Structure 1
Amino acid sequence: MTKLYPWLLPQFNQMQALTSKGQLAHALVLTGAAGIGKDMLANALAALLLCKNRQPDGACDTCKSCLLRLAGNHADLLVLQTETQHIGVDAIRQLNQFTYGAAQQQGYKVVIIPAADTMTEAAANALLKTLEEPPAGCFIILVSSNYSQLSATIRSRCQQWQLHAGSEAMLSEWLKTQSNTPLPPFLLDYCQGAPLKALGMLKNEQAGSLTEMIALLDDYFSGKLQLAALVKQLDGKAELSGMLGFYLRQRLAQPVDFLRQQAVLTAYQRWCRDATRIIGQNSALALTGLLTELKPLLQHQETKWKS
C-alpha cells in the first residue's frame, strides 16, 4: 500500500471500516485545503476498493487487480483527465459510459474526478443522472479544494469527507523529518496549514527567501533600512504579492485602529489590482509608492515573528 501522510490515516481507517461492512457511500467528495494530499487519499481508497486481497492497512499491492492498477492498466479504474482548465461535458459522458456494464475484474468499478469543482454547468448536469441512479458496484470519488464551487445538486448527492491536515505541532514535526532545511516559524501559517505546500517551499528554497523578505520589511518599518535598498531587493521577487499580504495581516493582528487598518488594506489591494491591470507598469515605482504610503501607518506595529 502507498504510505499515506499521517494526517490522512484517521479518514482512511474510517473508509476502510465502512468498506468492510459494505456501508461506504457510492459517491464521495474529498474536500479540504489545497496541499494536504486529497489526491493521495482518493488513490488509496480506489486501490482498497479494487484490491482482491485487502490487508489491515489497505490494498495488498500484490494481487492481479493491484498489479494492473500499479501498471496503469486497470480496466475498472478511471481517473478523469482533461486538457483544459475545466472539466467539460464530453469528459463526463465518457465517465457515464464507463460506469455501466460489468467490471472486467469481477469486482468494483472506481472513478476519480480530480479538481471536481472545475466542472462546467453542462458537465455537472451530465453527472447528476449517474449520481442519482449509481450503477451497482461503482464508486465515484470527487476531489475538491473548493467545495462551495460544486453545484448544490452535486453536493446533495455525495457524501462529504472534510479533510484536515492536523495540528501545527504534528505538522511541524513531520516537516522536520522531511527536510534538512530549518522550518521558519511562519511557514505553516503562510501556507494556510497545508503541509505539502510548505514542504515544497522548503525544498525549492522559497521558504528561506520569504524569511529574508520578512526581515527586510521589519528593518524598513523600524527605520533600519532605506526605502531604495528595500525596493531593490524586493522588486520582482517570486511570491512578493502573497508574502506582502501575509506580512501586512500579521502587522494588523496587533492592536490598530480601524481607520488605519482600512487604509493599509486599501493601499495593498490597489497595488495588487494595478499590477494586473496596468500594462507596462513600472513595478519598482509602484512598490516604492506602496511602501511609502504604508510606512507611517505601520512603523509602530510589529509582526508576530519579529526578527
Structure 2
Amino acid sequence: MILLRILSRLPLAVLYVLSDIMFLLAYYVIGYRKKLVNKNLKNSFPEKSLAERKKIAKSFYRNLCDYAVETLKLVTISPTVLQKRMYYTNPEVVLKYRDQGQSMVLLSSHQFNWEWLLASGMLSLNMPIDFVYQPINNSLVDSFMQTCRTRFGGKAIKRNDVARELIKRKSIQRGIAIVADQYPGYESDKKYSTVFLNQQTVFFYGSQQMANLTQYPVLYGSVKRLRRGYYSCTLVPIAEPPYHKDSETVIENYVRTVEQVIREHPDGWLWSHNRWKKRHLQEKNNNPIRPASTQYLPG
C-alpha cells in the first residue's frame, strides 16, 4: 500500500510511460486474458472482420493499462485536476433534481474510466454520492479501491447492505451510484435476461428493484474518452417514476443504452471480464428485446 501511494505521487505523464510498458507486457508478452477478449469480441461483433476486432482489442489493452495507472493516481490527484480530466457535459440534469430536494439513482457501466467517474461525482455534482459495491476477495486491494472511491466524500455501501442503508439514509438527499453491467455472481440473485451484444445475457436486477423501492429518477453516466487522460460524462435520463411493481423499464432502458455506448466506443468497455460465463444461467428465462424509447438513449 505504501508503494502504491509513492507511485501515485508520480506525474501522470510518468505513469503513462509505465502504462505503455504494461501494455507491451500484457498484449505482446503475457497475453493477459487474450483468448477471452477475442472470444467476447467475436461473439459480440460477428459482423466485424478479424482485422477490425484485432484493432479494437489492441486499443482496449491500451485503455486498460491507462485505467490501471489512472486509478492509482486517484490516491493523490487534486480535486481541480480530476474535475478538469473528467468533464461533465450536462450537470444541469442532476442539478434540476438536486434543487428540488430529489435523490436519484445514478447508473454507469464498465466504460473507461469508471473509477474517475465515481470519484469525481461528488465534486462535479456537488451532492453526496453513495456507491454500491461488491467487496473484492483480496482485502488489501479492496481497501485500496475503497480509499480511491471515497477520497472525495463518497460513501461505500456493500451490496448486501443496500436495503438497510436505503432505509437508514432515506432522509438524506443523495445520488446512489451503481455500476450494473457486470456478471451477477450469485445464482440466488434475481436476474434479468435479455439479448445484449448479440448474446443472451443476464443482468443484476438490483437497479430495477432499487428504483421500484425508492421511486427515484434514474440517470446513466455515459463516459467517453476524449484523449489520453481526459474524459467526458454525459448524464442520460433512463427512467422517471412512478414505477409499478412489475416494471422493467429501468433495467431494459439501461441495457439498451449501455449496448449503444459500447457499439459507438467498443474499445472502451471491459472485454477482459468473463461476462458470459455459465451459459446455462444466461439462457434461463429468456426475455424478448423491448427496445427502449429513443428519448432515453444518448444521441
Q: Same fold (TM over 0.5)?
A: no
Higher relative contact order (CA 8 A, sep 6+): 2
Higher strand share: 2
Higher helix share: 1
Max Rg structure: 1
TM-score normalized by the length of structure 2: 0.30
